[in-house]
């Protein structure tokens, strides 16, 4: 009997702490004013540039973001610190990232009506992992009591879609009957809260998804995966240079280049047409057109990017129902953004409705999965 991989469950966990644009701006502007005052002579002599002030209006106009969740809020708004104060945990305790991964995993398993004992593999895929080894996925696997295997993946903002494709391939090949994919996006430690152009971009979140064979699916809402597609084109326009080799280079391990930084205008100009073409080409391979799709679960990086991409695809502005935006509440959550949109906006679809999950980000990396709603049980 032919095995068809299906997406049978999903989970979205969010931290209890929220930081609004207004809170973030107060902290940033206090830092900027302090910096300008302390460096007034160098600024007057043209040796360094003054720090421009930020505003809630600027943030929302530039990105569509109004707030973001934070795993640890303490420290982020402290002008003398401006980074989360995450307490270290001893090696015998569950790691921070494994904890938020488990929070989402439990929700996805419940949504799919699955027990952890039915899972064969765990993939933890996100923009950053808090350590090199052992893999966070193996730690999660152990905590859930799963017999099988687990591994971590890092593909920046496309980590979720790329991992879902690996799960799809495993189920198709019969190397696993059920795969748990988790995206614990703990992004706040990599945000430069002293940079006006990026201090507002990211939020913390965790999503999880179940990919399994249609023969074992017992979920109320499930989706046949009609096809997957991935591509990468190297670019330096989105970058973080933090890594273990810094220990050997004698470079500042906490320098600004070690945090998230980007050439935003270049990213906008280059990624929008790449993403639109990627989706169009993927649909053509499946003998589909953009007009055949009911829902677009797009990567949540920037409101203006999503509006332009959907307009390129549809020839008109997509409605909020067609291409839901979650940036206002969640901000950019790296790879989890498109999965947040899916979690919040999929159960209203009817049998036979089509949708696409698509991510695009650093690399550049672009990934997509075309889904078809199965019969509601």
Encode pLDDT of 38-84 as tens digits. Answer: 999 999 999 999 999 999 999 999 999 999 999 999 999 999 999 99
Is 71 a domain residue? no
Q: Is the pLDDT of residue 229 over 60?
A: yes
Residues 125, 161, single domain; the answer is yes
| Higher-scoring residue by pLDDT: 250, 166 | 166
- Tens digits of per-residue pLDDT, 263-295? 999 999 999 999 999 999 999 999 999 999 999
Residues 122, 229, single domain; the answer is no
Catalytic residue among 126, 157, 178, 272: 157
Q: Among residues 112, 115, 113, 155, which one has the least CA distance to residue 336? A: 155
Q: Judge whether 168 and 225 are in contact, CB under 8 Å.
A: yes
pLDDT band at 254 (very low <50, low <70, confident <90, very high): confident
CA dihedral 308, 314, 320, 325 (to 10 degrees): -40
Question: CA 281, 285, 289 angle in degrees (round to 5)?
Answer: 65
- Tens digits of per-residue pLDDT, 11-47? 999 999 999 999 999 999 999 999 999 999 999 999 9
Cα separation, 127 vs 244, whole angstroms = 16
Residues 189, 242, single domain; the answer is no
Q: Is the pLDDT of residue 365 over 60?
A: yes
Q: Is the pLDDT of residue 232 over 80?
A: yes
CATH number at residue 177: 3.40.47.10
Task: Report the predicted TM-score, pTM, of the whole model to 2 decimal places.
Answer: 0.96
Sign, CA torsion 271/273/278/280? positive
Is 99 a domain residue? yes
DSSP string, 257-271: GGS-EE-HHHHHHHH
Q: Express as a percent the part of the chain with pLDDT over 70.
A: 100
Work out the burial of residue 365: count CB atoms within 10 Å of its CB; fewer than 13 is exposed, 13-18 middle, 19 or more buried: buried
* Residue 355, H or E segment: strand 354-361
How many folded domains does the chain comprise?
Answer: 2
Look at residue 251 and give its three-state secondary structure: coil
Q: What is the mean pLDDT of the chain?
A: 96
Residues 232, 356, single domain; the answer is yes
Cα separation, 310 vs 305, whole angstroms = 9
Task: Name the token pair of 292.
Answer: 């055949």
User: Which positions ≥6 away from 299 have C-beta within 8 Å?
Assistant: 157, 158, 275, 306, 337, 338, 358, 359, 360, 361
Is 59 a domain residue? no
Q: Express as a percent the part of the chain with pLDDT over 90.
A: 98
Q: Judge whether 127 and 334 are in contact, CB under 8 Å.
A: yes
Q: Judge whether 347 and 9 are in contact, CB under 8 Å.
A: no
Q: What is the structure's pLDDT at 377? A: 76
- Tens digits of per-residue pLDDT, 153-192? 999 999 999 999 999 999 999 999 999 999 999 999 999 9
Residues 231, 364, single domain; the answer is yes
pLDDT band at 1 (very low <50, low <70, confident <90, very high): low
Task: For residue 5, list its beta bridge partners.
Answer: 213
Cα separation, 280 vs 260, whole angstroms = 30
Q: Is 157 a catalytic residue?
A: yes
Residues 237, 356, single domain; the answer is yes
Range of the domain at 368: 223-373
Is 356 a domain residue? yes
């Amino acid at each position: 009997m032919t095995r068809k991989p299906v997406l049978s469950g999903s989970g979205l966990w969010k931290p209890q702490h929220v930081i609004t644009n207004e809170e973030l701006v107060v902290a940033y502007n206090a830092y900027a004013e302090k910096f300008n005052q302390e460096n007034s002579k160098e600024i007057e002599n043209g040796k360094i540039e003054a720090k421009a002030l930020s505003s809630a209006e600027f943030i929302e106009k530039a990105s569509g973001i109004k707030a973001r969740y934070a795993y640890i809020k303490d420290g982020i708004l402290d002008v003398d610190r401006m980074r989360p104060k995450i307490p270290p945990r001893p090696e015998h305790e569950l790691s921070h990232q494994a904890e938020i991964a488990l929070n989402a995993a439990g929700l996805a398993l419940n949504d799919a009506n699955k027990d952890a004992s039915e899972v064969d593999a765990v993939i933890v895929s996100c923009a950053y992992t808090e350590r090199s080894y052992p893999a966070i996925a193996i730690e999660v696997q152990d905590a859930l009591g799963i017999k099988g295997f687990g591994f971590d993946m890092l593909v920046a903002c496309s980590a979720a879609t790329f991992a879902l494709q690996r799960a799809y391939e495993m189920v198709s090949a019969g190397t696993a009957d059920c795969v748990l994919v988790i995206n614990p996006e703990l992004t706040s430690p990599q945000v430069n809260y002293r940079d006006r152009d990026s201090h507002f971009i990211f939020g913390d979140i965790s999503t999880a998804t179940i990919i399994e064979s249609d023969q074992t699916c017992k979920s109320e809402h499930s989706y046949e995966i009609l096809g997957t597609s991935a591509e990468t084109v190297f670019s330096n326009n989105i970058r973080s240079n933090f890594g273990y080799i810094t220990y050997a280079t004698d470079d500042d391990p906490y320098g600004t280049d070690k945090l998230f930084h980007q050439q935003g205008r270049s990213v906008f100009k280059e990624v929008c047409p790449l993403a639109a073409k990627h989706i169009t080409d993927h649909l053509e391979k499946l003998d589909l057109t953009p007009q055949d799709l009911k829902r677009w679960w797009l990567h949540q990086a920037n409101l203006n990017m999503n509006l332009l991409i959907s307009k390129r695809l549809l020839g008109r502005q997509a409605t909020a129902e067609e291409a839901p935006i979650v940036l206002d509440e969640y901000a950019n959550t790296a790879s989890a953004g498109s999965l947040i949109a899916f979690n919040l906006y999929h159960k209203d679809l009817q049998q036979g409705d089509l949708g696409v999950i698509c991510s695009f980000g650093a690399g550049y990396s672009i990934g997509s999965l075309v889904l078809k709603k199965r019969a509601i049980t």
